[in-house]
Amino acid sequence: MTEIEKISSEQLILEAAEQEFLTKGYDGARTISIAQKAGVTHAMLHYYYRTKRQLFECILAKTISTVKETMLAAMGDPDMPLVERLKDGIASHFDHMVANPLLPRFFLNEIISRPELYSLLYERVASFIREFFADLQSEADAAAERGEIEKIDIPMLIISIMSLNIFPFVAYHFIEPVMGTIIADREIFLEERKAENIELIMRRIIKH
């Protein structure tokens, strides 16, 4: 008897659902399509998850916890000096995007467009983020005071970082054909892109 890992239908459905929802969104996803991908009848889907909505909530929970991890990673190490902390945070954040390339689009489309869901999620992290911003801002102000870096507005800088790190994944299908030869090797492109994003932010804050 070989080592056949018999994965439960429940799990198969969950994985198929993740792929379906992440690529097509809630409205575009079809329960039948999910069941087919999982290799079961669609009645099974209802047996384990009751409704399409509830199955979706399971995927949602997964993505939300991944997003939380990503944000934490992006915040970097508070003990590092600001510039190093930023470099580190940007790189970590980018790596999380590489590891979960479908998440940004899904998150932007499905969570943010549902005010009830998003405001709930936001309330939980609001004070945390405010604290992080304030912390970073005072560090930045101090460094600027010492003439080490330019005077910078942290929220604006964060938006820049997010734009640079997230957009390529949201728009990958658009970028790929246009950039053609440049992106021939995805691995290499992503490494270059990460370095470029760090370079951009560094040049924005260092004094010239």
Partner DNA sequence: AAACTGTTTGACAAAATTGTTAATAACTAT
Partner DNA sequence: ATAGTTATTAACAATTTTGTCAAACAGTTT
- Among positive and negative, which fits the CA dihedral 93, 97, 99, 103? positive
- Chain-centre distance for alpha carbon 181: 26
Q: Tell whether residue 122 is a contact of a copy of itself (CB under 8 A).
A: yes
Instruction: Figure out which of the listed residues 68, 109, 117, 137 binds a copy of itself, where binding follows CB under 8 A.
Output: 109
Residues engaged in binding DNA (CB under 7 A): 8-10, 29-32, 40-44, 46-47, 50-53
- Chain-centre distance for alpha carbon 174: 18
Element containing residue 117 per DSSP (H, E): helix 115-145
Q: In terms of CB distance, is 47 or 122 closer to DNA?
A: 47
- Distance, in Å, from the CA atom of 161 to the CA atom of 159, rounded to the nearest integer, reads 5
- Distance, in Å, from the CA atom of 8 to the CA atom of 10, rounded to the nearest integer, reads 5
Q: Tell whether residue 182 is a contact of a copy of itself (CB under 8 A).
A: yes
> For tokens 């911003």, what's the residue?
133
Q: Tell whether residue 147 is a contact of a copy of itself (CB under 8 A).
A: no
Element containing residue 126 per DSSP (H, E): helix 115-145
Sheet strands (E) in the chain: none
Nearest to 143 by CA among 189, 206, 95: 206
Length, in residues, of the chain: 208
- Distance, in Å, from the CA atom of 78 to the CA atom of 44, rounded to the nearest integer, reads 47
Q: In terms of CB distance, is 12 or 110 closer to a copy of itself?
A: 110
Which of the listed partners (DNA, a copy of itself, none) does 156 bind, with a CB threshold of 5 to 8 Å by partner kind? Answer: a copy of itself
Which of the listed partners (DNA, a copy of itself, none) does 171 bind, with a CB threshold of 5 to 8 Å by partner kind? Answer: a copy of itself
Q: Tell whether residue 41 is a contact of a copy of itself (CB under 8 A).
A: no
Q: Tell whether residue 52 is a contact of a copy of itself (CB under 8 A).
A: no
Q: Tell whether residue 25 is a contact of a copy of itself (CB under 8 A).
A: yes
Q: How far is the CB of 203 from a copy of itself (least distance, A)?
A: 5
Question: Site residues (CB under 8 A) for a copy of itself?
Answer: 23-25, 27-28, 105, 108-109, 112-113, 118-119, 122, 126, 129, 153, 155-156, 159-160, 162-164, 166-168, 170-171, 173-175, 177-179, 182, 192-193, 196-197, 199-200, 203-204, 208
